Structure 1
Amino acid sequence: MSITQSDASQGVTIARADDGCTITIAVDVRILELVIQLEDSQITILPSEYTYADNRGRVIMPGGTATVGSGVVVTPGEISTCRGKIVIPGGGGSNAAVILPDDTVVYLDKRMEGGGYTIAPDGTVTLPDGTGIKPGGQIATPEGIGQPPRR
């Protein structure tokens, strides 16, 4: 696998090659989620199943594009807020990472608050209206109505 960063390109391209794949990532990409398949001891990156967020507030997914300007965008691996923060939930007992608008990465050891949002160390985001978004995309309203993540 070869991963390169490009000033000239936009977004992300994944191309299969005889010896693996090449991933080209534009400099405005803040986070990239890949789908990796393990079958018969072979690891394969699925070239059409990726999601990324750029520095313009767009989240590009296989099913389309969303912008964080109108609210929170939840993907299987992260939560993008309209305040420019990207929350990456921790796994296996580790704390969540938060990518701040200036691309600084902070690992939470206590709650982070700001702009009406609260981010817990495990990556749970609580919105100003009390709606909670748990790691993995489970959404629960203040009334207790839950929505499972869609894939």
Structure 2
Amino acid sequence: MKLNILRPAEGSVKTRKRVGRGAGSGLGGTSTRGHKGAKSRSGYSRKIGFEGGQMPLQRRLPKFGFKNINRVEYKAVNLDTIQALADAKNLTKVGINDLIEAGFISSNQLVKVLGNGSLTTKLDVEANAFSKSAVAAIEAVGGNAVKL
């Protein structure tokens, strides 16, 4: 093997297509852009959703609904989850910080306690909101539902 004989593998190197360099190249004239139309012109970029002049889908469909800017989004936590957390950590008072440490919610979320499941021990539960069934279940075992 000699350095002056080295060549790339057959078919691995392709020559660049040089468009618009005269008729003799076979790629002159329209420079592979076809004839006329927006796509043949310089500076063309198709707008998102453009359907060739046909009324686009997002304009054919009617508008409906609205976003309530006053909506308050809560992360739901059930009573059985709170009972499991209290049993695991021997707690008598379950607050938002306990739920954050356990990984049930993140620090910027609001908590609503729902009445799914049951409590077996007396607990003081702190949350941003409670369902009626959750408050009834907490008070039934002698605990307190503290709204923050």
TM-score (norm 2): 0.20
Structure richer in helix, relative to its length:
2
Structure richer in strand, relative to its length:
1
**Larger-Rg structure:** 2
Larger RCO, structures 1/2 (Cα 8 Å, 6+ apart)? 2
